[in-house]
Amino acid sequence: MKLDGFVTQENAEKGVWFEPELNGKKIGVEFLVIGKDSDIVKKFITEQSRMFPKMTKEEAEQFDINEQARKGVALRIRDMRSTDGQPIVLAGETLTASKASYLKIFEAIPDIQDSIWFFSEKRANFLSKPKKASSEPFESSSSSTSPIPSEKGETDK
136 located within any domain: no
50 located within any domain: yes
Mind listing the pLDDT tens digit for each residue in 3-58?
877 778 889 999 999 999 999 999 999 999 999 999 999 999 898 888 878 888 88
Long-range contacts: 135-144, Cβ < 8 Å, 24+?
136/2, 137/5, 138/2, 138/3, 138/4, 138/5, 138/6, 139/2, 139/4, 139/5, 140/4, 140/5, 140/7, 140/10
Whether residue 14 contacts residue 146, with contact meaning beta carbons closer than 8 Å, is answered with: yes
Range scoring the smallest mean pLDDT among 64-68, 84-88, 105-109: 64-68
Angle separating helix axes 110-121 and 65-74, nearest 10 degrees? 60
53 located within any domain: yes
140 located within any domain: no
132 located within any domain: no
Domain extent for 105: 4-126
- pLDDT for 54: 84
Residue 88 to residue 81: CA distance in whole angstroms? 8
157 located within any domain: no
Which regions of 2-118 does DSSP assign to beta strands (E)?
16-18, 21-22, 25-26, 29-33, 77-82, 88-90, 93-95
Work out the mean pLDDT of the chain and round it to a whole number: 82
Residue 16 to residue 13: CA distance in whole angstroms? 9
Total domains, the chain: 1
